[in-house]
Amino acid sequence: AETTMKTYRLAMIPGDGIGVEVTGAAMQILEATAARHGFALAPQWFDWSCAHYIATGAMMPSDGIETLRGFDAIYLGAVGWPESVPDNVSLHGLLLPIRKAFDQYANIRPHRLLPGVEGPLRAQGFDILCIRENTEGEYSGAGGRVHQGRRNEVAVETAIFTRNGVERILRFAFDQARQRRGHVTSVTKSNAQKFSMVFWDEVTREVAADYPDVTVAHMHIDAMAARMVMAPESLDVVVASNLFGDILTDLGAAIQGGLGFAASANICPDGSGPSMFEPVHGSAPDIAGRGIANPIAAIWSAALMLDHLGVAEAARAILTAIEATTAKGIGTVPGRDATDKITAQIRAELET
């Protein structure tokens, strides 16, 4: 009997440093999963990176965004090589334009401790989904400087929040909570930022009214940072602005044992463009080329991609294989096990 397999077109951008190493690992696992779960992958590789910048003067070709538009999903390893290209050039030339161009307004990052991983906290049992607004707010890029270099210089940076921008990320968070334990914590600082954050709180109350089955808590960012360390098990879905989400997801990565375990997805929920999947870690020049980067964050991000593409069973199989691997003590300590060894073990677990 002949069956037509569904084929997913993937834009693969390994990027710089360990981004290249972990993307290779993620691709191996993706291919292995596809073979077992009856779908096919059509990856196309793009060498857009700091090396590309040095060679051509741009992080990606001028039609880069148009090229990506046709794919079902984008996978990105890591971007940046500060020794030769300043971070603001590399980030503003590749990662950030992609997030913007495809309106990937929901940056989602799961934080929980994999079996066998000893995090920095005594607390063990937590399972948090952080949802970060990814397109506006404190990273809008609006501002300026006057009297530059003089004694009376003033620099301003303006956070811009739109109702549509705030409402859609909150709805996304409440929808996610429905798939989980039904609790949303909305993080602001409305006692000190009377315009932006009071507005966010108001929209939260409006949106919450449409989700009577979801409970909601309001917390200030300072108290929330403390809570993630003191009582992470009390949290389910956490939703926050671009800056607050950025901070909380690095903190989330820390409590789950480090960046080697932190996966992320930049979702365009209405599907008007492709979504992008990337580990939270950067290119890590200090360990690049040594074959010791932990591929778990990258492979977990690949699982988020499959889940988003609709092959949830395959995504779950990858997570199960990651957990079986760390439960055996492989990949649990930063820098100890080779990337290849961890990847091979996850692959072996997929086959059991």
Ligand X SMILES: CC(C)[C@H](C(=O)O)[C@@H](O)C(=O)O
SS3 133: strand
Nearer to a copy of itself, 7 or 162 (CB): 162
Tell me the C-alpha to C-alpha distance, in Å, between residue 326 and each of 8, 93, 131, 302.
Answer: 29, 36, 25, 17
Residue of the chain from 40, 230, 312, 348 that contacts a copy of itself (CB under 8 A): 230
* Cβ 301 to ligand X shortest distance, Å: 12
Residue 39 interacts with, from ligand X, a copy of itself, none (CB under 5-8 Å by kind): none
Cα–Cα dist 248/243, whole Å? 9
Task: Please tell me the distance from the alpha carbon of residue 350 to that of residue 285, in angstroms, as a whole number.
Answer: 31
From CA 153, how far away is CA 150, in angstroms rounded?
5
From the CB of 145, what's the least distance to a copy of itself, in Å? 6
The pair of three-digit structure tokens given for residue 102, joined into one six-digit string: 């495809």
| Torsion angle in degrees (nearest 10) through CA of 267, 269, 272, 273 | 10
Answer for which of 47, 164, 291, 328 binds a copy of itself (CB under 8 A) is: 164
Closest residue to ligand X, judged by C-beta, is 246
Q: Which stretch binds a copy of itself (CB under 8 A): 28-36, 176-184, 239-247, 313-321?
A: 239-247
Among 222, 289, 290, 316, binds ligand X (CB under 6 A): 222
Q: Which of 16, 236, 246, 307 is catalytic?
A: 246
Question: Among 6, 36, 145, 181, which residue interacts with a copy of itself (rule: CB under 8 A)?
Answer: 145
Alpha-carbon torsion, ordered 96, 98, 102, 108, to 10 deg: -60
Contacting residues for 223 by C-beta, under 8 A, at least 6 apart: none
53 a catalytic residue: no
Interface with ligand X (CB under 6 A), residue total 5
Residue 194, contacted partner among a copy of itself, ligand X, none, CB below 5-8 A by kind: a copy of itself
304: left (phi over 0), alpha (psi -120 to 50) or beta: alpha
What distance in Å separates the CA atoms of residue 275 and residue 266, rounded to the nearest whole number? Answer: 6
Q: Let me know if 250 is a catalytic residue.
A: yes
Residue 240 bridge partners (DSSP):
132, 187
Q: Which does 123 bind (CB under 5 to 8 A by kind): ligand X, a copy of itself, none?
A: a copy of itself
Q: Which has the closest alpha carbon to 217: 198, 199, 201?
A: 201
Q: Is residue 154 part of the contact set for a copy of itself (CB under 8 A)? A: yes
Candidate list 246, 307, 337, 349; residue touching ligand X; CB under 6 A: 246
Query: Which positions from 163 to 192 touch ligand X by CB under 6 A, shown as an x/- string?
Result: ----------------------------xx
91 binds ligand X (CB under 6 A): yes
Token representation of residue 64: 């880069």
First to last CA, the chain: 26
Nearer to ligand X (CB atom), residue 25 or residue 263? 263
The candidate with the shortest Cα–Cα distance to 250, out of 74, 111, 103, 67, is: 111
- Which residue among 53, 72, 105, 189 is the active-site one? 189
Nearest to 174 by CA among 164, 165, 162, 183: 183
User: Taking CB under 8 A as the criterion, which residues in 252-311 touch a copy of itself?
Assistant: 253-255, 258-259
Here's the x/- map for a copy of itself, 170-209, by CB under 8 A: it reads as: -------------------xxxxxxxxxxxx---------
| 204 neighbors 218 (Cβ within 8 angstroms) | yes
Catalytic: 222? yes
User: Catalytic residue numbers?
Assistant: 139, 189, 222, 246, 250
User: Which residues would be at the binding site for a copy of itself (CB under 8 A)?
Assistant: 87-88, 91, 118, 120-123, 138-139, 141, 143-145, 150-164, 189-200, 221-223, 225-227, 229-230, 242-243, 246-251, 253-255, 258-259
